[in-house]
Amino acid sequence: MRTELRITAVAGTLPQIHAVGGLAARRTGVDTVHLIGTAATPLGGDELDIRITVGAGARLLVRSVAATIALPGRETRKSLAHWHFEVAAGGELDFDPEPTVVAGGAEHETLTTVRLEAGARLRLRERVQIGRTGEDHGYWSGELRADIGDLPLLRHRLDLGADAATDDALTGPRALESVLTYPDDRPAETTGMNAALLPLAAGGTLFTRTAIALRV
């Protein structure tokens, strides 16, 4: 199944939503939208294409009503999600959905593209958990590309799960939290063995934390 979701925020109006497939959204406030699953997705073979656009001077908060469960399909285990975020000058986006849980036997890939204009504000949080109770053999890979105009802000890729090239059967992490914040002038900080806040050369920060299990 192919899912397409478009959310557009324009200053002075309610967010506009257009959805086809297994994911929709509902306005839950003047500047708040919640993502809602309308069918079991992503299953193996599914592709999701989500685009969120915030115009000049607009503010948008995106949340979700429940966790996303990636499941293997009958013919293939792999699903794919493309996330596109665009924020204009003076616009603000706070994206913080519930975690994605990759069930045993499933493989889920996330490709995220962020385009910011100078003067935009962004908080982009992603949480991933490999496996439900008693499972640890799902696989997730995520790639994040962020730019401010023509200036590269971040190129980041992570793999998580039993099939990851660097996985350790004894101590390999099964959960991830990642937060991209722009602008942000906090200095580098290490908060525990597997958590770090890193300043970016073009401004902003990236916080990354891995663990055996996700705790929120």
User: For 54-112, what is each residue's pLDDT tens digit?
Assistant: 999 999 999 999 999 999 988 888 999 999 999 999 999 999 999 999 998 899 999 99
- Provide the domain count of the chain: 1
Question: Is the whole model's pTM more than 0.85, yes or no?
Answer: yes
Residue 119 lies in a domain: yes
DSSP character at residue 71: B
DSSP character at residue 43: B
**Would you state the structure tokens that stand for residue 19, as one six-digit string?**
């959805």
Which of 50, 120, 38, 48 is closest to 79 using CA atoms?
48
Residue 179 lies in a domain: no
Residue 202 lies in a domain: no
Residue 199 lies in a domain: no
Residue 195 lies in a domain: no
How far is C-alpha 169 from the geometric centre of its chain's CA atoms?
26
CA distance 121 to 89: 8
Residue 138 lies in a domain: yes
pLDDT value of residue 19 = 97
How far is C-alpha 93 from the geometric centre of its chain's CA atoms?
13
Residue whose pair of structure tokens reads 């959805």 in the numeric block: 19
Residue 169 has pLDDT above 70, yes or no: no
Residue 193 lies in a domain: no
Domain hosting 44: range is 2-170
